[in-house]
Amino acid sequence: MANRLTINYEKKPCYDIVFASDYNGLLEELQDFNIKERRAAIIADSNTVSLYGEEIKKLLDGNCKKVILYSFPAGEEHKTLDTVKDIYKTLIEEKYDRKDLLIALGGGVVGDITGYAAATYLRGVDFIQLPTTLLSQVDSSIGGKTGVDFDGYKNMVGAFYMPKLVYMNISVLKTLDERQFFSGFAEVMKHGLIKDASFYEWLLDNMYEIQDREPQVLEEMVMRSCNIKKLVVEKDPKELGDRALLNFGHTIGHAIEKAKNFEMLHGECIALGAVAAAFISWKHNWLSMEEYYEIRDMYVPFNLPISVDDINPEEILTLTKSDKKMSAGQIKFVLLKKIGKAVIDMNVTDEDILNAVNEIYFSEEDEKA
Ligand code: GLY
């Protein structure tokens, strides 16, 4: 029996996350949604279509009224309204109606785009998440955030729209390339740092097993991470309060992501943003110096960067101000009161941000020294 977690929305069970080691149990899970009577559109990107597209299509063929497999080129640069428009066109051409079903097969970009297309096509059709990266399994497939980037700004257009099911095949994590895997790990670390010191300790204790991607350790890591996210999104599904804690590392992280033209992976930028936020937490006398350096150095064995070259700290500061995480012109900065307890701070100054960016900035002078 696969393990599962139920996510509640407005205090009622809304959807299940199923943790499995293959796709064999997917069809049985889908029976609850009367798929015999419905058309399904599998939405993948150019990577996941060749890896798992045919396997999922074969599984559904003959069990749904109709199945199509649609794909778009992989990469954050395709997380746009143009891709969503192309999905709408395909669904219209194939005569999909409100009873039909979208299935997101891929990482965060595929999940966010498919969710947004599902939220808006005919004012809303059901969708299911089959997350295939660590980042999408532990973070983006849960909690109903959907959307696209707009004009170079991350997730500027979107909707909260809950999936009907999240089915995670944990074994796919084995085949991820190193950069993708560790990029997702930045979000796992984030969950420990903001909400659960014992999970953070567990990550430290299981460092080698995680690096080796031992299946049982990965399953426990993904499940514990999802459980933290569950508790946060159930309490504050629309990010009116505590859900913003999940943005730890994202203010400076998103600014670096944009300054680098999305050439660095999301988790790599979030690791840098988390180090910067931990630095500010130390300077605000919440973390000790030892804790700050422990957090910073913890990213190293997971192949995540703790410094970055070729940025302009002033530009990063400016970019933090155009991020969505603002309230009445003031940045809602997430800091650590201690390991396992994050808080939202409205009093982070430009100087704090510049000092923190300089802390992670590896300049030409550093190189010469
Ligand atoms: N990834 C942050 C959130 O879901 O709120």
Distance 147 CA to ligand 1 centre (A): 12
> How many helices (DSSP H) and strands (DSSP E) are in the chain?
16, 13
Distance 145 CA to ligand 1 centre (A): 7
Sign of the CA dihedral 64, 115, 344, 202?
Answer: positive
pLDDT value for 332 = 87
The binding-site residues of ligand 1, defined as CB within 6 angstroms of any ligand atom, are: 139, 143, 145, 243, 246
How far apart (Å, rounded) are the C-alpha atoms in residues 197 and 308? 27
Concatenated DSSP letters for 245-269?
Answer: GGGTTHHHHHHHHHHTTT-S-HHHH
Say if residues 129 and 180 touch (Cβ distance below 8 Å). no
pLDDT, one tens digit per residue, over 33-88 is 999 999 999 999 999 999 999 999 999 999 999 999 999 999 999 999 999 999 99
Q: Which residue has the tokens 């550093």?
A: 366
DSSP calls for 45-105: EHHHIIIIIHHHHHHHTTTSSEEEEEEE--SGGG-SHHHHHHHHHHHHHTT--TT-EEEEE
- If you take atom 2 of ligand 1, which residue's CA is the nearest one? 246
Q: How far is the CA of 67 from the centre of ligand 1 (A)?
A: 30
pLDDT for residue 312: 96
With the most atoms of ligand 1 within 8 angstroms of its CB, the residue from 7, 247, 254 to mutate is: 247
- Give the pLDDT score at 328: 63
Confidence (pLDDT) at 323: 64
Report, as ranges of residue numbers, the positions in the chain whose pLDDT lies below 50. none
Between CA 346 and CA 334 the distance in angstroms is: 9
Q: Model's pTM, two decimal places?
A: 0.94
Mutate-to-test residue for ligand 1 from 9, 137, 145, highest number of ligand atoms within 8 A of CB: 145
Long-range contacts of 57-63 (CB under 8 A, 24+ apart): 59/23, 59/26, 59/27, 60/27, 60/30, 60/35, 63/27, 63/30, 63/35, 63/36
Q: Which atom of ligand 1 is nearest to the CA of 247?
A: 2
* pLDDT tens-digit series, residues 240-279: 999 999 999 999 999 999 999 989 999 999 999 999 999 9
